[in-house]
Structure 1
């Protein structure tokens, strides 16, 4: 059984505000009918009537007011849909409302006799005249979006009401009073409608902003996942490719060391699989000490003279994690994209900032421009989270320099790992474990099979 009110609870907040706004517009139509038609009905009950038309004139005027109210309700609803972009602007209905408003107002003011005997009836006719113009002006405002036109609508109706009253024999002071009353009444109704529309638009904009923020959070998480996956897989796949090629060469020479190399490939593949699972769970951080040791071991095994100094003690976990990812990315690209013979990795603290530099001599002649690969983009995003910067590019003397700077004390709550909840790093290359990956003396030319780009751009 359907519970009462469930349909309302299922509505979103913008839908509820829109429903409230639409009902308030219809309520304003009811207010118009009660205010204008109620006065005319009171005259008929008391046996009075405005002008010389008798009870028939009052009845006809009340019917016209009812029709005007119905038209105002329809236009208010359709104009609200137009304001929200659901249907076309009701231009014909707005013109029809202008004509009907002018007709009803003219009929009402024409019934005023300006004699003392019919003073009450004349006051009622003038009241109907003011109410119809006020609500007509406010409803027409719903079909406008220009603020100047919205403000001009009550003023135009007020000026027109004064002119029409003067044309039907009303003295100038009385016409000015009628114009002032119409201006105030139309201004109030218009302000009510405009503020309701403004509130509805604000609620919709806030809801759209919340949805946009949600989509951005999802996109940011996807970028983080892609960045972490790239950082995890890049170096390991490069080493696997290097050792696989070495195993092929050893097997072709019928050397027993080929089996050992394939065992190492299997171990690296399993380690990579474990690290990917940790990235998916969002619990992975890089350890700077392990990454420095692993980078030195891999580069040395590839025949590159690698010197590592640092890191200073006492660096926060966020700083070490961020710099650890930089070391991993830099070592990966030295293997994959360069023909280096020497590489120097240095970590130091200068004036409250931890500085990591990776300098190698693997830039071919004529190569230039900073590396702009996806690896660098991910590193810059990771460092930016804790206020760090990254610079990378050839120095002009055949060398390539990568410099990463981060505050030596990371801001509270900053994370350079895999996101909130990042825990201890698992699966890192243990110190000294990588020395056995490739026999010493194998040059960087035996990098990943099929690699044709020998430039040392840091572009994973």
Structure 2
């Protein structure tokens, strides 16, 4: 059974921001229903008050739908809901002006009814501006909508029976409140888009790092194989020509081709071996630099020098894969990497917060590949969400040192780490 809030922790940072933005903007409708709705009761007959409440509920629902579709448009999931935004704007104008006219003409108390009418009038326009803003393409249109609402409010107030000074104050109030709500909604949409762009930039940076490594490997192979293949092609062509002429030197040329091919095969193996082997100290420094650049606090503790080459290579790949998981999954703010070298084994642990729901990372192909690499040096790997910690993911790799030569710094380093 999932614990309360697990669905929230399972979301990525952009998904969390989008959910929060939707809830915030759609809460405008709740303000309209539960704050503005009850104001009419006691000021007009009950039947008319209920009619106004139902109109406000319909307006709130239409505003929530408009906001939802507009946010989908800003995220590129649908076309701009132009007709829906226009329909919502018309509904806002009709309901606000209608409410103002009714409340000014059928009040139980004239003074109290006027105050209530103005609050309802300004409140409906204010909520309408907040819900319609995400569906407008530019700031110019948002500003134009706020100014239009203000001028329309002033123009509608005079025929409704308000004196000119009161109509002017009403227009200024509408301009201020609609501008505030429009600014709030517009900033929320901007923040949502900015978070998505930052997340996409992080993904792009990870893909570029992979592409750069592939290019480096390709350059190394080209440097190794380019000249040798050219020589092989030249000598093979020469051997063909000598063979056609019946010259015995063709055998010498083919022997040379064989030698160069064997040397090329050896050099390719060395390049691949160098690519597959990872230096643990370099990987730890690289992981700390990459995570820090991504805004994740990273602490590295423990010795990395003096370990056998195969052990360093296997643990270096653990650091690479764990760092990739921290960057690509969850919403980490902290990552701790520790190396503890004992008399019989070396233990590497990578622990980060902000992990997704339990089980989200423990079965990936990357971790399966790490288990295969560690198995070559008789090592083991454990990975998963820590049971007694909220959202903490831990990777622990252990490699035995029995029968392997370890540098002289191992014992002193172990004493420091153990102490």
Give the TM-score of the pair, scaled to structure 1: 0.55
The CA deviation at 1:129 is 0.8
Establish whether residue 135 from structure 1 lines up as the match of residue 111 from structure 2.
Answer: no
Taking the aligned partners of 1:115 and 1:12, their CA distance within structure 2 comes to 52
Q: Pick from 73, 95, 98 the counterpart of residue 104 of structure 1.
A: 95
Taking the aligned partners of 2:252 and 2:107, their CA distance within structure 1 comes to 118
The CA deviation at 1:247 is 5.1
Establish whether residue 170 from structure 1 lines up as the match of residue 189 from structure 2.
Answer: no
Establish whether residue 85 from structure 1 lines up as the match of residue 76 from structure 2.
Answer: yes
Establish whether residue 75 from structure 1 lines up as the match of residue 87 from structure 2.
Answer: no
Taking the aligned partners of 1:65 and 1:215, their CA distance within structure 2 comes to 50
The CA deviation at 1:174 is 0.4
Query: For 1:244-393, what aligned pairs fall within 5 Å after superposition?
Result: 244-245=236-237, 261-282=253-274
Taking the aligned partners of 1:250 and 1:69, their CA distance within structure 2 comes to 91
User: In the superposition, relative to structure 1, how do residues 148 and 36 fare at CA in structure 2: closer, same or farther (>3 Å)?
Assistant: same
The CA deviation at 1:79 is 0.9
Q: Pick from 51, 60, 65 the counterpart of residue 60 of structure 1.
A: 51
Taking the aligned partners of 1:277 and 1:138, their CA distance within structure 2 comes to 64
What residue number does 1:300 align with?
A: none
Which structure has the larger Rg over C-alpha atoms? Answer: 1
What residue number does 1:37 align with?
A: 37
- Residue segments in structure 1 that go unaligned for 5+ positions in a row: 285-460
Taking the aligned partners of 1:89 and 1:220, their CA distance within structure 2 comes to 38
Taking the aligned partners of 2:184 and 2:211, their CA distance within structure 1 comes to 40
Of structures 1 and 2, the one scoring higher in RCO (CA 8 A, sep 6+) is 1
What residue number does 1:9 align with?
A: 9
Give the TM-score of the pair, scaled to structure 2: 0.60
Cα offsets for 1:249-284 (capped at 9, x unmatched) = 666788776655544433321221122223334459
Query: For 1:429-444, what aligned pairs fall within 5 Å after superposition?
Result: none
The CA deviation at 1:219 is 2.9
Cα offsets for 1:315-369 (capped at 9, x unmatched) = xxxxxxxxxxxxxxxxxxxxxxxxxxxxxxxxxxxxxxxxxxxxxxxxxxxxxxx
Establish whether residue 20 from structure 1 lines up as the match of residue 20 from structure 2.
Answer: yes
User: In the superposition, relative to structure 1, how do residues 10 and 273 fare at CA in structure 2: closer, same or farther (>3 Å)?
Assistant: farther
The structure where helix makes up a greater share of residues is 2
The CA deviation at 1:127 is 0.7
Establish whether residue 240 from structure 1 lines up as the match of residue 240 from structure 2.
Answer: no
Taking the aligned partners of 2:104 and 2:58, their CA distance within structure 1 comes to 21
User: In the superposition, relative to structure 1, how do residues 277 and 7 fare at CA in structure 2: closer, same or farther (>3 Å)?
Assistant: farther
- Residue segments in structure 2 that go unaligned for 5+ positions in a row: 277-419
Cα offsets for 1:21-54 (capped at 9, x unmatched) = 11111222212222211323xxx3xxx224xxx2
What residue number does 1:370 align with?
A: none
> How many residue pairs get matched?
275
Q: Pick from 49, 52, 57 the counterpart of residue 43 of structure 2.
A: 49
